[in-house]
Structure 1
Amino acid sequence: MNILVCIRRVPDPAENEIRLNRSGTDIERDDLVYSINEWDNYAVEEALQITARVGGEVTVVTVGGDEDEEVLRRQLAMGAKHAALLSDDAFAATDAMGIASILKAYAQQNSFDLVLTGVQAEGGGAQVGGMLAALLDWPFASLVTAVEVVADKKLKVAREIAGGNKEVSEIDLPCVLSIQTGINEPRYVGMRGVRQVASIEIPTLDAAHLRIDSNCLTAKVKHAGYFSPVAGVGAEMLSGDREHILDELVERLKGRGGITA
Structure 2
Amino acid sequence: MHPEFKKSLERGEIEPAILPDGTPFVRDEITYYQATQGGINMYMGRFHSFSDVLRKHDALKISSELMDTAQATKADLLKQALLVMQTNPGQAQDCIREVLTIEDRINQRREFGLDVNQVYEISSIWYFSEEEDPAVIDKKTNKRKIESWMEFPELYGFFLRTLVGSFVPLSALVDKDILEYIQNLNLLEQLDLSRIALQYRTAGLKSGTNLLIASRLETLNAYENLIDLLSRNTTSILTHGSETEPKKEVTTP
Assess same fold via TM > 0.5: no
What TM-score does the superposition give when structure 1 sets the normalisation length?
0.25
What TM-score does the superposition give when structure 2 sets the normalisation length?
0.25
Higher fraction of strand: 1
Higher fraction of helix: 2
